[in-house]
């Protein structure tokens, strides 16, 4: 047991468990959902957003923290960067070593391209690795890509770009086959049929999973495949891209890189550049905890924006409804939606089921925030929260289900003396996903020639809310599409000799004209959880750390 004041609160849940197990909360109407979102979703708090003063999206709103990075001082001084000294040459430069970047590198390599994959940590150190619940694909007889389209498009409030949603759902079955053939260990029945389950907002059971470490298993497989292609994929790790390089035709043709251990600057030249830098959870918008990997700091958005690429839905973030809210050591850690898919219900302090557990993520996140703000949350010394009644799972499916289906969840809590088979857990929304990003078309092109973007750094695939299982699908589908497209493009492009950072100089002029002040520099690269500690500052020629 919790061994403190929370024991009594948990007893209320236990006393009503049998009753709550039988109770099925009605789905909210469209009007009820809209009202709940308007009053309680973080994206609707006007004072947490500001208007962009410069750049392609000038006049549009963005989260205060993101706007600061988009409009901050460039991390380098263009006149101090020697663009004539080329350290790396490739047909395709991939920035980011997560699911999207690795998939892109594999497909470009398959097309015969010489690929340079640059990642600021290690290949696989990405949000892909953190994804747990599964990956969607309509590949069962009672389902179809058309049905998947309706779920995804509607779940995103009909804001997704139709061509992107269409590509996402129609490529999904072949992507599952591709991953399976590469060696991903999907959950299967004894006869080899893949196990599929529901997710929030899905009308069919189409969630394919690898227990509750689906992202880690997919990333493991993609990473191995990339390393197996060492003859055509060169990996440079612990190296961050800090600026896109363009040529005299304003085409992307490389990037300025910085070794994050030594601070050394390197120049990479390429025919095609793919940004696959992932999300932004480590920006901690509105002070929220996050489920994101340490490197998720919106770098790709900053570099693309400075190069002239348009953003889409940059004001839309996803707050996963069930982040761990107790104990402190795991605050914000993801409690996968699969827990609710298996039958665990959301319960307030009075032991009441107050909402259907598989409403869409934005609705359930707003519902939890409402319960807490209106005094029906469970007070504790870490984060006021609601209960997620995990013991229901084994009451429904039988003893052993939790260890078999969600072992990572069990292991995360048992370390702190909480047995989720016997005790409910406390949850509160955690900053989880960047719904918006760089605007792309179905082949991942941006409005900047030869600059492609894939995965969470892109915007438009999920509209303004994402359904469970469509993120792992997004990174693999569009990572592959970017790699395939780059594999076609590079054959007709000549490596440019006229490299330029003029767009960075122009950006600085825009900043001055708009009277933007402050000492912030971007891209952020890594979050800093210390204050005023100069010990970590480094003297880097032409760059600011």
Active site residues: 320, 340
What CA–CA distance (Å, rounded) separates 107 from 389? Answer: 43
What CA–CA distance (Å, rounded) separates 113 from 492? Answer: 12
What secondary structure letter does DSSP report for 98?
S
Q: Is 419 helix (H, G, I), strand (E, B) or coil?
A: coil
Mapping DSSP onto H, E and C, the string for 299-336 reads HHHHHHHHCCCCEECCCCEEEEEEEECCCHHHCCCECC
What CA–CA distance (Å, rounded) separates 198 from 415? Answer: 29
Q: Which of 191, 177, 192, 188 is nearest to 211 (CA)?
A: 188
b or e along 288-303 (b: 16 or more beta carbons within 10 Å of the residue's beta carbon)? bbbbbbebbbbbbbbb
Contact call for residues 535 and 89 (beta carbons, < 8 A)? no
R_g of the chain, CA atoms, integer Å: 23
Taking each helix axis from N to C end, the angle separating 145-155 and 162-182, rounded to the nearest 10 degrees, works out to 120
142: which 2 tokens? 């009672």
**Within a 10 A sphere around the Cβ of 414, how many other Cβ atoms?**
12
Q: Which residues pair with 118 in a beta bridge?
A: 95, 236
Q: Is 67 helix (H, G, I), strand (E, B) or coil?
A: helix
Contact call for residues 283 and 293 (beta carbons, < 8 A)? no
Q: For tokens 């490529």, what's the residue? A: 171
Residue 233: phi, psi to the nearest 5? Answer: -120, 115
**Which of left, alpha, beta for 238 (phi over 0: left; psi -120 to 50: alpha)?**
left
- Chain-centroid distance, C-alpha 344: 24
What CA–CA distance (Å, rounded) separates 292 from 130? Answer: 7
Q: In sequence order, what are the residues at sequence separation of 6 or more whose Cβ sits closer than 8 angstroms to the Cβ of residue 304?
A: 244, 275, 311, 438, 446, 448, 451, 453, 457
What CA–CA distance (Å, rounded) separates 262 from 279? Answer: 25
Number of residues written out for the chain: 545
432: which 2 tokens? 């989880």
Q: In sequence order, what are the residues at sequence separation of 6 or more whose Cβ sits closer than 8 angstroms to the Cβ of residue 136?
A: 148, 152, 172, 199, 202, 206, 207, 208, 467, 468, 469, 470, 473
The CA–CA distances, whole Å, from 358 to 152, 200, 340, 346 equal 14, 4, 7, 10
Q: For tokens 């809590």, what's the residue? A: 413
521: which 2 tokens? 């520099």
């Amino acid at each position: 047991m919790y061994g403190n004041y929370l024991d009594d609160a948990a007893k209320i849940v236990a006393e009503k468990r049998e009753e709550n197990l039988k109770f099925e909360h009605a789905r909210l109407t469209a009007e009820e959902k809209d009202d709940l979102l308007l009053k309680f979703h973080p994206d609707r708090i006007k004072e947490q957003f500001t208007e962009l003063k410069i750049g392609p999206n000038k006049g549009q709103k963005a989260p205060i923290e993101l706007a600061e990075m988009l409009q901050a001082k460039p991390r380098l001084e263009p006149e101090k960067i020697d663009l004539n000294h080329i350290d790396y040459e490739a047909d395709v430069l991939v920035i980011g070593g997560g699911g999207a970047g690795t998939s892109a590198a594999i497909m470009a390599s398959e097309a015969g391209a010489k690929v340079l994959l640059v990642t600021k940590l290690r290949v696989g150190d990405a949000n892909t690795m953190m994804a747990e619940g599964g990956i969607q694909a309509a590949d069962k007889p009672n389902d179809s890509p058309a049905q998947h389209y309706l779920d995804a498009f509607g779940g995103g409030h009909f804001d997704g770009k139709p061509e992107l949603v269409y590509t996402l759902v129609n490529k999904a079955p072949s992507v599952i086959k591709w991953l399976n053939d590469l060696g991903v260990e999907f959950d299967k029945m004894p006869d080899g049929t893949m196990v599929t389950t529901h997710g929030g907002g899905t009308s069919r059971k189409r969630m394919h999973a690898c227990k509750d470490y689906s992202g880690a298993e997919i990333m493991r497989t993609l990473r191995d495949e990339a390393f197996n292609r060492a003859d055509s994929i060169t990996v440079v790790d612990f190296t961050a891209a800090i600026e896109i390089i363009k040529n005299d035709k304003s085409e992307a043709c490389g990037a300025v890189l910085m070794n994050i251990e030594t601070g050394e600057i390197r120049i990479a030249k390429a025919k095609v550049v793919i940004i696959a830098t992932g999300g932004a959870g480590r920006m901690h918008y509105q002070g929220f905890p996050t489920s994101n990997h340490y490197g998720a700091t919106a770098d790709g958005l900053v570099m693309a924006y400075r190069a002239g690429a348009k953003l889409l839905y940059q004001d839309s973030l996803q707050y996963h409804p069930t982040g761990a809210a107790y104990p402190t050591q795991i605050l914000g850690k993801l409690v996968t939606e699969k827990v609710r898919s298996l039958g665990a219900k959301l319960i307030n302090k009075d032991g009441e089921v107050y909402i259907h557990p598989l409403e869409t993520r934005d609705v359930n996140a707003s519902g939890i925030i409402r319960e807490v703000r209106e005094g029906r949350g469970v007070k504790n010394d870490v984060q006021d929260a609601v209960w997620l009644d995990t013991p229901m799972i084994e009451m429904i499916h039988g003893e052993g289900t939790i260890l078999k289906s969600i072992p990572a969840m069990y292991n995360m809590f048992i370390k702190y003396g909480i047995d989720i088979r016997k005790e409910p857990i406390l949850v509160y929304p955690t900053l989880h996903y960047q719904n918006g990003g760089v605007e792309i078309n179905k082949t991942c092109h941006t409005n900047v020639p030869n600059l492609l973007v894939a995965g969470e750094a892109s915007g438009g695939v999920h509209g303004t809310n994402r359904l469970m299982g469509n993120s792992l699908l997004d990174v693999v589908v569009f990572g592959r599409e970017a790699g395939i497209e780059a594999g076609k493009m590079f054959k007709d492009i000549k490596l440019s000799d006229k490299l330029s950072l003029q767009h960075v100089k122009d950006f600085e002029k825009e900043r001055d004209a708009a009277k933007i002040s402050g000492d912030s520099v971007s891209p952020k690269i890594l979050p800093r959880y210390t204050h005023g500690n100069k010990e970590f500052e480094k003297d880097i020629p032409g760059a600011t750390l």
